[in-house]
Amino acid sequence: MAETGECPEEDFSAYSSSMMETARKVVESGDLGEQVCSALVLKNGRMLIMHEAAVGDQFIYLSILCSRVPAGMQNMIKEIVSCVARTLLGNSYQEPNR
């Protein structure tokens, strides 16, 4: 999906200006380098990638819904969460069914 203009229209729900701004702030505060796009990892192995590009005084807003998250990404996220949860909760932590 794509839209052009000064800002995305309200009904272009596949693009979130506030999420892009939040990601921009995180990148800046962590000195992580130049942001290329923002992505949301969704349930059922999907990912929504959002990108904006300036063309003169107009902008292009893109949202790309991928049917699959890159191999291993979801398992890596789940493993990190489990590791941190075990550290925080110790023996009381029960890993969710995978």
Q: Within this chain, do residues 8 and 46 fall inside the same structural domain, yes or no?
A: yes
Residue of 93, 72, 70, 69 lying closest to 81 (CA atoms) = 93
Q: Within this chain, do residues 48 and 28 fall inside the same structural domain, yes or no?
A: yes
**What value does the CA radius of gyration of the chain take, rounded to a whole number of Å?**
17
pLDDT tens for 25-47 read 888 898 888 888 888 888 888 88
pTM of the model: 0.63
What percent of the chain is modeled with pLDDT above 70?
Answer: 81
Q: What is the pLDDT of residue 4?
A: 61
Q: Within this chain, do residues 58 and 77 fall inside the same structural domain, yes or no?
A: no
Q: Within this chain, do residues 28 and 17 fall inside the same structural domain, yes or no?
A: yes
* The pLDDT of residue 7 is above 70: no
User: For the chain, how many structural domains are there in total?
Assistant: 2
Q: Within this chain, do residues 47 and 86 fall inside the same structural domain, yes or no?
A: no
Q: Within this chain, do residues 74 and 63 fall inside the same structural domain, yes or no?
A: no
Could you list the residue range(s) of the whole structural domain that residue 28 is in? 2-67
Q: What is the pLDDT of residue 10?
A: 61
Helix (H, G, I), strand (E, B) or coil at 1: coil
